[in-house]
C-alpha cells in the first residue's frame, strides 16, 4: 500500500507526504519539502556583521524575530559584546510577542480545523467567532509588542549588535500594558477551549530538547537540556548531526547521538512545566495530563498553555521596562575582531541554533543555522512509522480520506515551518 | 469583470512567506474583503482544490525550483491579471545575493550532496512571465496591498506613485539619516512603504527597488564622495534585495577626476 499526499496546506511552506506500507509494516515515511534552496549560510559568507541579522530574519515570515535575535546573540558571542540588561529585557519582550503571534496563527488558523474536518478557515471563523476573536486579539497583541519595540512586526528593524537603533515609545509600552489584560483573558479562554478538545490517541517514546534554566521557563537564554542532561549551547550544537536524504536533499534532517529528537512547545512543557507562570500552571494542572507527555498531538495544547504563560510574562517584563530610555539600550561603537560564537533561543517551533565565525575585517567567514523544523523532521518521520499501522490495520482500518486527514493533522501538530527547514 | 464574484489566489514560490503573513494581518479587513471575492488558493488558510481560472493572482517569492517556474507559468495562463508582491518576486530578494557571488561554491558550502538541488541564477518573476503590477517591499506594506487589491478586484490596475521614500519620511518628520552620515538609500528608492525603516532609525536599504529614472550613478558617487562610503559598502547594501543588477546592467562608470583620494 502506498500513501501519497501531494500537497499539505495550512503549514508554513510547501510539502507533500509519501509512505510505503508492506504487510502492515511501514517501510518508508517521508515528508517531501518543495521549497527551493536559498543557500542562506552560503550567501552570508563575506557579508558584514552589521547586516546579516537582517538577512536571516528573511528566512521566515512567521518567525522573523527569533531569527533576527538569535543571529544577533551568536554575533555578540563571536565579537565579545555584552548587551545591557535593558536590551535583553526588550529582546525578551519581543520574543513573547513572537511566540504569541506564531502560536495564535498555528492554533486557530492551521490546526484547529483538523479537529472538526473543516478545510477552510473562513468557515471555521463562522463556526467559532468567539475563539477566532481570541486568536486575533492574541496575534494582534503579539504583533503590537514586536512593532512597538522592533519598529515592524515582520522583519523587525531596531535590533542591532549590542542594542537597539531606537528605544520604544513609553506611551506605547503603556498601551500594551493596558491591552495585556484583554490578551490574558483571550489566552485563558483559548487554552480552556483547546483543553476541551479530543486529541487523537498515539503514544511513543521520544527524546525532548529545549533550553532550560534553574528558575524560569527558558526562552531567550539557557543551557540545552536533553532528557536529564544539560550542556551549554556551544557544546550541544556541534553535536547535532545534520544529514540529507537522497530523495529530498534540500531539507536537512538532524539527529543527536544517532537518535531523532523533538523540540517545540511540547518539549518545553515536558522539561520546564514547573516554571510556568501561575495562571498557565494552574490551567495545565486542570488538564489530566501527566508528564512527560509522549503524544505529539499535544504539542497543540502545549502551545495554548504557553500563550497564557507568555502574556503573564509580558506583564512582568513590561513592569520592569517602564523606564527604559535610549541611553540604556543603544549600541556602543566597537572595532570588529575575529571570533566564533554560538547562540540559541526558543523559537515558537523549538530551539533555534546559530553559529558564526567572524573575520578580523568584520565580515562573516562561516555560518551554520539549525532550525527547529530541521531538527523535528526526522522525529516526525519516525512518528509516522509507528503511527501509520495504527491507522491502516490496527482494529478496523480507516478509509483513505480519514487516514490522510489524520496524517495531515499529525504533521500540522508539529507546526512545521518548511521555509525555515530548507532556508 | 462580470457580475460573478472575482476569483483570486495568493500563491507563494520560494520565500519566507512574510508577505502572505502581512496580508493575513489585515485581520478583519481581510475578512471584509473576502466577502466580495472568491479565494481560490491561499494555502496559509485553506486546504482544497483550485478553480480553473482566476481574475487576479498575487505571487510572492522567487522561482527557484522547476516546479516554481512551472507553477507561475501555469497561473499566468489561467489568470486575467498577475501581480507580484514583495522583494523576492519583484527584485529577486535575498535569494539573489548568490548572483553576485560564486553560486556553485555557495551550494557546495551548504550541501554535501548537492545533486538534485536547483541552483539557477535568481530572476524576478517578470523574467519568466508577463506581470501586470508589482507591489514591492520586504515585506509588502499591507495598507498599500489592500488599496491595490481593491482596485484590482474592480478591474483597474492601480499605479504606484513614483515618489521617493524621503517623501513619506519627511511627512513623519524623521531626522534625516543621510545627513547624519548613514547610508540611507531613501532618495532613490520607490516610496509607498510608509518609511518604516528610517522611522526606526534604520537606513533605507532599498527593498522596494529604485524609482523610475533615478539618477543612480550620481547618488552612488555622492555616497562615496560626500559621505565617504566605500564602493564595497554601497554594493553590499544595493545587492541586499537583488536590485543591483536591475540598476547596473554594467558597472557604473565614475569619471576619474571625481574620485577623491582619502
| Nearest to A100, CA basis, from A280, A267, A255 | A280
Q: Do A154 and B21 touch (CB under 8 A)?
A: yes
3-state secondary structure of B8: strand
B177 or A14, which is more confident: B177
Mean pLDDT of chain A: 95
Q: Considering only alpha carbons, which residue of chain B is nearest residue A142?
A: B25
- Per residue in A351-404, pLDDT (tens digit) is 999 999 999 999 999 999 999 999 999 999 999 999 998 887 655 567 788 889
B70 lies within 8 A of chain A by CB: no
| Closest Cα in chain A, distance from residue B218 (Å) | 24
One domain, residues B110 and B184 = no
Q: Where are the beta strands (DSSP E) in A144-274?
A: 159-160, 163-164, 207-212, 223-226, 229-231, 240-243, 253-256, 261-262
Give the C-alpha distances (Å, rounded to integers) separating A227 from A211, A223, A261, A292, A376: 11, 12, 10, 10, 16
| Closest Cα in chain A, distance from residue B98 (Å) | 6
ipTM, two decimals, is 0.94
3-state secondary structure of A384: helix
Span A131-152, mean pLDDT?
A: 96
One domain, residues B56 and B78 = yes
Q: Return the percentage of chain A with pLDDT > 90, whole number.
A: 87
Gyration radius of chain A's alpha carbons: 21
Q: B113: how many CB neighbours lie within 10 A of its CB? A: 12
Query: What per-residue confidence (pLDDT) applies to A27?
Result: 86
Q: Do A41 and B20 touch (CB under 8 A)?
A: no
Does B2 map to a domain? no
Span A45-74, mean pLDDT?
A: 97
> A414 lies in which domain range?
2-422
Span B191-205, mean pLDDT?
A: 97
Residue A56: pLDDT over 90: yes
One domain, residues B19 and B128 = yes
Q: Do A12 and B44 touch (CB under 8 A)?
A: yes
CA A261 to chain centre: 15
Residue B250: pLDDT over 70: no
3-state secondary structure of A377: helix
pLDDT band at A215 (very low <50, low <70, confident <90, very high): very high
SS3 string of A26-67? Answer: EEEEEEEECCCCCCHHHHHCCCECCCHHHHHHCCCCCCHHHH
Measured between beta carbons, the chain B residues lying within 8 angstroms of A12 are: 17, 44
* Torsion (CA) A95, A100, A102, A103 in degrees, nearest 10: 130
Measured between beta carbons, the chain A residues lying within 8 angstroms of B47 are: 8-10, 113, 119-120, 408
Backbone angles phi, psi at B110, to 5 degrees: -85, -35
| CA–CA gap between residue B180 and residue B186 (Å, rounded) | 13
B141 lies within 8 A of chain A by CB: no
Does B195 map to a domain? yes
Binding-site sequence positions of A for Ni(2+): 60, 63, 417
Report the domain count for chain B: 2
Domain boundary among B153, B182, B209: B153
Grid cell listed for A402? 480519514
One domain, residues B36 and B135 = yes
In A265-324, the residues whose Cβ lies within 8 Å of chain B are none
B243 lies within 8 A of chain A by CB: no
Q: Do A37 and B119 touch (CB under 8 A)?
A: yes
pLDDT band at A343 (very low <50, low <70, confident <90, very high): very high
Q: Do B21 and A105 touch (CB under 8 A)?
A: yes
Report the domain count for chain A: 1
Measured between beta carbons, the chain A residues lying within 8 angstroms of B62 are: 36, 38
One domain, residues B72 and B183 = no
One domain, residues B125 and B196 = no
A179 lies within 8 A of chain B by CB: no
Q: Pick from B16, B92, B183 the residue to mutate for testing the A interface (most A CBs within 10 Å).
A: B16
Kindly state the DSSP code that residue B4 receives in the 8-state scheme.
S
One domain, residues B105 and B213 = no
| CA–CA gap between residue A87 and residue A165 (Å, rounded) | 11
- Per residue in A237-289, pLDDT (tens digit) is 999 999 999 989 999 999 999 999 999 999 999 999 999 999 999 999 999 89
Q: Do B65 and A158 touch (CB under 8 A)?
A: no
> B88 lies in which domain range?
7-153
Does B125 map to a domain? yes
Domain boundary among B108, B126, B153: B153
Contacts of A304 (CB under 8 A, 6+ apart): A103, A107, A190, A191, A193, A194, A195
Query: What per-residue confidence (pLDDT) applies to B108?
Result: 96
Contacts of B151 (CB under 8 A, 6+ apart): B157, B158
Give the C-alpha distances (Å, rounded to integers) separating A14 from A9, A372, B53: 8, 16, 22
- DSSP for A181-198 reads HHHHHHHHHHHHHHHTSP
One domain, residues B131 and B187 = no
Q: B212: how many CB neighbours lie within 10 A of its CB? A: 7
- Asked whether the beta carbons of B258 and B221 are under 8 A apart, the reply is yes
One domain, residues B234 and B137 = no
Q: Look up the CATH number of the domain holding residue A384.
A: 1.10.645.10
Does B220 map to a domain? yes
Contacts of B70 (CB under 8 A, 6+ apart): none
CA A15 to chain centre: 18
Mean pLDDT lowest among A130-144, A238-252, A289-303, A394-408: A394-408
One domain, residues B74 and B173 = no
Q: Do B94 and A158 touch (CB under 8 A)?
A: no
Q: Considering only alpha carbons, which residue of chain B is nearest residue A412?
A: B44
- Asked whether the beta carbons of A255 and A241 are under 8 A apart, the reply is yes
One domain, residues B112 and B218 = no
One domain, residues B143 and B194 = no
In B220-239, the residues whose Cβ lies within 8 Å of chain A are 233, 236-237
Domain boundary among B88, B121, B153: B153
Query: What per-residue confidence (pLDDT) applies to B253?
Result: 47
Is the pTM higher than 0.90?
Answer: yes
Contacts of B162 (CB under 8 A, 6+ apart): B190, B211, B212
A120 lies within 8 A of chain B by CB: yes
Does B1 map to a domain? no
Amino acid at each position: 500500500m502506498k500513501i501519497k499526499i501531494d500537497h499539505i496546506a495550512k503549514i508554513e511552506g510547501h510539502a507533500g507526504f509519501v509512505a510505503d506500507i508492506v504487510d502492515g509494516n511501514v517501510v518508508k515515511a517521508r515528508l517531501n519539502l518543495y521549497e527551493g534552496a536559498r543557500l542562506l549560510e552560503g550567501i552570508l559568507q563575506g557579508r558584514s556583521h552589521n547586516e546579516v541579522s537582517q538577512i536571516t530574519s528573511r528566512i521566515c515570515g512567521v518567525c522573523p524575530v527569533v531569527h533576527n535575535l538569535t543571529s544577533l546573540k551568536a554575533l555578540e558571542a563571536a565579537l565579545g559584546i555584552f548587551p545591557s540588561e535593558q536590551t535583553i529585557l526588550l529582546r525578551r519582550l519581543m520574543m513573547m510577542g513572537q511566540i504569541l503571534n506564531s502560536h495564535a496563527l498555528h492554533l486557530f488558523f492551521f490546526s484547529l480545523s483538523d479537529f472538526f474536518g473543516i478545510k477552510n478557515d473562513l468557515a471555521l471563523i463562522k463556526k467559532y467567532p468567539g475563539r477566532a476573536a481570541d486568536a486575533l486579539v492574541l496575534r494582534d497583541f503579539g504583533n503590537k509588542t514586536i512593532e512597538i519595540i522592533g519598529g515592524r512586526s515582520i522583519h523587525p528593524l531596531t535590533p542591532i549588535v549590542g542594542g537597539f537603533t531606537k528605544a520604544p515609545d513609553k506611551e506605547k509600552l503603556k498601551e500594551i500594558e493596558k491591552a495585556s489584560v484583554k490578551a490574558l483573558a483571550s489566552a485563558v479562554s483559548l487554552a480552556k477551549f483547546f483543553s476541551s478538545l479530543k486529541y487523537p490517541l498515539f503514544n511513543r517514546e521520544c527524546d525532548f530538547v529545549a533550553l532550560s534554566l534553574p528558575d524560569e521557563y527558558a526562552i531567550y537564554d539557557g543551557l540545552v537540556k536533553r532528557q536529564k542532561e544539560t550542556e551549554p549551547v556551544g557544546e550541544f550544537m556541534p553535536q547535532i548531526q545534520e544529514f540529507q536524504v537522497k530523495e529530498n536533499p534540500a531539507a536537512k534532517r538532524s539527529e543527536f547521538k544517532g537518535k531523532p529528537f523533538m523540540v517545540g512547545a511540547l518539549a518545553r512543557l515536558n522539561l520546564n512545566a514547573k516554571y510556568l507562570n501561575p495562571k498557565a500552571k494552574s490551567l495545565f494542572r486542570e488538564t489530566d495530563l501527566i508528564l512527560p507527555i509522549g503524544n505529539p498531538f499535544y504539542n497543540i495544547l502545549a502551545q495554548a498553555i504557553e500563550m497564557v504563560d507568555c502574556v503573564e510574562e509580558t506583564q512582568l517584563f513590561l513592569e520592569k521596562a517602564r523606564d527604559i530610555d535610549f541611553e540604556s539600550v543603544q549600541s556602543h561603537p566597537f572595532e570588529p575582531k575575529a571570533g566564533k560564537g554560538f547562540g540559541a533561543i526558543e523559537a515558537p517551533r523549538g530551539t533555534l541554533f546559530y553559529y558564526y565565525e567572524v573575520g578580523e575585517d568584520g565580515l562573516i567567514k562561516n555560518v551554520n543555522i539549525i532550525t527547529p523544523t530541521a531538527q523535528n523532521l526526522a522525529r516526525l518521520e519516525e512518528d509516522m512509522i509507528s503511527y501509520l499501522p495504527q491507522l491502516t490495520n490496527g482494529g478496523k482500518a480507516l478509509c483513505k480520506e480519514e487516514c490522510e486527514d489524520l496524517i495531515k493533522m499529525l504533521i500540522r501538530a508539529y507546526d512545521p515551518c518548511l521555509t525555515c527547514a530548507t532556508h | 469583470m462580470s457580475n460573478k464574484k472575482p476569483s483570486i489566489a495568493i500563491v507563494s514560490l520560494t520565500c519566507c512567506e512574510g508577505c502572505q503573513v502581512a496580508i493575513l494581518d489585515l485581520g478583519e479587513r481581510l475578512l471584509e474583503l473576502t466577502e466580495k471575492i472568491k479565494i481560490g488558493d491561499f494555502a496559509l488558510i485553506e486546504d482544497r482544490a483550485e478553480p480553473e481560472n482566476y481574475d487576479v493572482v498575487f505571487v510572492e517569492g522567487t522561482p527557484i525550483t522547476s516546479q516554481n517556474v512551472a507553477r507561475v507559468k501555469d497561473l499566468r495562463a489561467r489568470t486575467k491579471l498577475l501581480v507580484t508582491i514583495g522583494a523576492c518576486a519583484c527584485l529577486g530578494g535575498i535569494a539573489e545575493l548568490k548572483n553576485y557571488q560564486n553560486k556553485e561554491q555557495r551550494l557546495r558550502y551548504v550541501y554535501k550532496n548537492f545533486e538534485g538541488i536547483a541552483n539557477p541564477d535568481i530572476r524576478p518573476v517578470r523574467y519568466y512571465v508577463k506581470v501586470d503590477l508589482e507591489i514591492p517591499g520586504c515585506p509588502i506594506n499591507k495598507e498599500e496591498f489592500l488599496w491595490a487589491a481593491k482596485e484590482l478586484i474592480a478591474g483597474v490596475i492601480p499605479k504606484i506613485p513614483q515618489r521617493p521614500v524621503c517623501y513619506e519620511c519627511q511627512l513623519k518628520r524623521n531626522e534625516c539619516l543621510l545627513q547624519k552620515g548613514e547610508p540611507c538609500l531613501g532618495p532613490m528608492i520607490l516610496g509607498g512603504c510608509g518609511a518604516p525603516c528610517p522611522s526606526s532609525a534604520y537606513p533605507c536599504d532599498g527593498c522596494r527597488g529604485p524609482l523610475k529614472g533615478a539618477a543612480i550613478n550620481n547618488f552612488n558617487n555622492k555616497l562615496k564622495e560626500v559621505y565617504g562610503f566605500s564602493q564595497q559598502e554601497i554594493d553590499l547594501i544595493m545587492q541586499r534585495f537583488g536590485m543591483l543588477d536591475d540598476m547596473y546592467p554594467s558597472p557604473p562608470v565614475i569619471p576619474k577626476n571625481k574620485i577623491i583620494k582619502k
